[in-house]
Amino acid sequence: MRPLLTASLMILVVTLSGCSGGDDEDDDGVEVAGAIGGADSTCPMPVTFDRARGWVPERIVDTDDKGETVLDDLLTPGPFHVVCELESPVNVGYLRVYVGPQRLASQDPERLLRTFVKEFDEGVELTFSTSESDDGLAVTEVAYVEVREVLEERVKRRAFLVVGKDGVVVVHVGGLDDEEHAGMLPTFELTRDSVRAHS
């Protein structure tokens, strides 16, 4: 076999080898540890998304056995109720998932996110963007700043909203400070890009 042809075949093999196994890692290098959100998962919800390896999901139930609400207003911003939180493996941060009733699906998503931010953080400097997930689901995102007047701090926050089969979902990422917030963004973006409706 001629040297040029041999070299070309070697390059092809190396390229294909590099592409294999890519299903377990997103473009930002976040390792995927499976999906969450289905009826048989830790946190059933109206949508499904990929979970980053090391992030531990915990289902949040906002009522007790008698049907009485047990969460305070911090975890129930406006019409949304927290249903799941994923704990970061490297800091005290969380990725939290909130669900609102299906009747909200007809409302303007930016308006819903404004309501969420006002009830949750009293955030300022809201910036909105829209995109589609890899599965074609419409995503509305807000980036904003939480002002902590007592501590004289300003901390970045982000959240996105999607409409699922049986409700409206908001996924929120915070952090103790901007550095921690930035460290959690790859996982937040994995969630946003991989979110999909139940089949």
For residue range 153-177, list pLDDT tens digits in order: 889 999 999 999 889 999 999 888 8
In degrees, rounded to 5, the angle at the alpha carbon of residue 86 between the alpha carbons of residues 173 and 74 is 60
| 3-state DSSP assignment of residue 118 | helix
Amino acid at 119: E
pLDDT over 80 at 9, yes or no:
no
pTM value is 0.80
In degrees, rounded to 5, the angle at the alpha carbon of residue 78 between the alpha carbons of residues 38 and 46 is 15
What is the structure's pLDDT at 97? 95
